[in-house]
Homo-oligomer: A and B are copies of this chain.
Amino acid sequence: MNIEKRFGLRIRELRMMQEISQEELAWRCQLSKNYVSDVERGTRNVSLKAIEKFAKGLDVRIEDLFHFER
């Protein structure tokens, strides 16, 4: 699985754990709902700035977004 897919699944996993919608996550991250949806589907080559927004929105460390590598 490529890095975009793995990252997207991890974002979805963290969102589900917090029981929030994509819309709520988008609002928390200051990103558009469409963008969050694309990221979760693994179709976006997300950049550092957006990665930081996801970490802040999910209230986790950036490292935690990459804990799929086990």
Residues of chain B with a CB closer than 8 A to A67's CB? 63
Residues of chain B with a CB closer than 8 A to A52's CB? 3
Q: How far is the CB of A43 from chain B (nearest CB, A)?
A: 11
How many copies of this kind of chain does the complex include?
2
> What is the number of residues of chain A that contact chain B, defined by CB distance less than 8 Å?
16
| Smallest CB gap from A49: residue in B | B45
Residues of chain B with a CB closer than 8 A to A61's CB? 66, 69
Q: How far is the CB of A46 from chain B (nearest CB, A)?
A: 5
Within 8 Å of chain B (Cβ to Cβ): is A17? no
A residues adjacent to B (C-beta < 8 A): 3-4, 7, 45-49, 51-52, 61-63, 66-67, 69
